[in-house]
Amino acid sequence: MPSLTMIEAIRDAMDVMMARDDRVVTFGQDVGRFGGVFRCTDGLQGKYGSSRCFDTPISESGIVGIAVGMGAYGLRPVAEIQFADYMYPAYDQIVSEAARLRFRSAGEFSAPIVVRMPCGGGIFGAQTHSQSPEALFTHVAGLKTIIPSNPHDAKGLLIAAIEDDDPVVFLEPKRIYNGPFDGHHDRPVVPWSKHELSETPQGYYTVPIGEAVVRREGAEVSILAYGTMIHVAEAACRAVGVDAEIIDLRSLVPLDLDTIVRSVIKTGRCMIVHEATRTSGFGAELSALIQEKCFYHLEAPVVRVTGWDTPYPHAQEWDYFPGPDRVGRALIRLMES
């Protein structure tokens, strides 16, 4: 199997689907000729023509709005929002339109669209290129929200998202586009080629939406994470020597609660790690669910390690980012409590 980066895996997913299904189209700012500022659509316009991969005006609301119309027509649009931080003008189209169309028309119309957007920090992008707005989507009935942590899952999940009949928000942690970043920003960059999950099958395959996966089996504590934080959590566990079970949620809605509950009941301890701000973050939902489903199995309160409740800073990036040191210290405290 070839070793791909996240970017190559995402591009490959679109390539596979555009070849298989001529209803699949992709568009967004700088997506067509240039191939995307992160190169995720590089070469697709040349291969499939400018009516299937094209540049759009700088209007997120327009990008998602036309996607909804195309989806209602019968196409399978994959819209790119250049940075998740820029999605707010499109929020009305995502929340009030894409997410509700099937419900409000009693199934007459639907919006089988994918809205891709790079998210997360770690690239010195400050508050306009670093946000993790996943909880703004998981709160919305009718949406599916996905965040892959590696090339293998990124390709399989994106193919599943394109085939899905419901609107899917596909968040791409941009710090792991080119390598499995574990939060050690002062160490040399590790490429994906050294990571087993960069081994990506050629051609068509899917990773099912709504299935979490145990990345590391362990007995002492369950760590729930997704995206970049999977790699941070792995590094933290190695550093402090805790035998943690790391669960990669992959899909936040629908959520694989069975895998989570099984693990927390086994370990009796639970830590949730995400880059997004803490208050009303997805960790709050996870924490509430664990309290509801696993209360009598818990040895200690559920712990959240997250971004602070501040805008994402520039110079103070590594004080904001929940890196392996912070996760490691929290793990030690959790094991002592």
Partner 1 sequence: MNVQHLTLHVPEPQPCFGGTADFSGFRLSDAGRVRRPAIDVEASEIRDLAYELVRVLDADGHAVGPWSDACTVDQLRSGLRAMLKTRAYDARMTMMQRQRKTSFYMQCTGEEAIACGFQSALKAGDMNFPTYRQQGLLIAQDWPLVDLMCQVLSNEKDRMKGRQLPVFYSAREVGFFSISGNLATQYVQAVGWAMASAMRGDSRVAAAWIGEGATAENDFHAALVFASVYRPPVVLNVVNNQWAISTAQSVAGGAQATFAARAHGYGIPALRVDGNDYLAVRAAACWAVERARRNLGPTLIEWVTYRAAPHSTSDDPSKYRPQNDQLAWPLGDPVERLKDHLIGIDEWSEVRHVQLKAELDEEIAAAAKEAQGFGTLVEGSKCSPASMFDDVYKSMPPHLREQRQELGF
Residues catalogued as catalytic: 129
Residue closer to partner 1, measured from CB, 30 or 325: 30
Give 190's DSSP letter.
P
CB of 56 to partner 1, least distance (A): 7
**Which residues of this chain interact with partner 1, rule CB under 8 A?**
25, 51-52, 56-57, 59, 61-62, 65-70, 72-75, 77, 89, 92-93, 96-97, 101-110, 141-142, 144, 164-166, 210, 253-255, 257
**Alpha helices for the chain (secondary structure H):** 6-20, 44-48, 60-73, 91-92, 101-104, 134-138, 151-163, 228-240, 257-267, 282-294, 317-320, 324-336
CB of 21 to partner 1, least distance (A): 13
3-state helix, strand, coil in the chain (%, to 5): 40, 20, 40
CB of 25 to partner 1, least distance (A): 7
Q: How far is CA 246 from CA 73, 127, 305, in A?
A: 42, 29, 14
Those residues with Cβ within 8 angstroms of residue 336's Cβ, 6 or more apart along the chain or in another chain: none
Give 167's DSSP letter.
-
Residue closer to partner 1, measured from CB, 87 or 303: 87
Tokens encoding 227? 């995206």
Residue closer to partner 1, measured from CB, 96 or 291: 96
Tokens encoding 195? 């990571």
CB of 51 to partner 1, least distance (A): 5
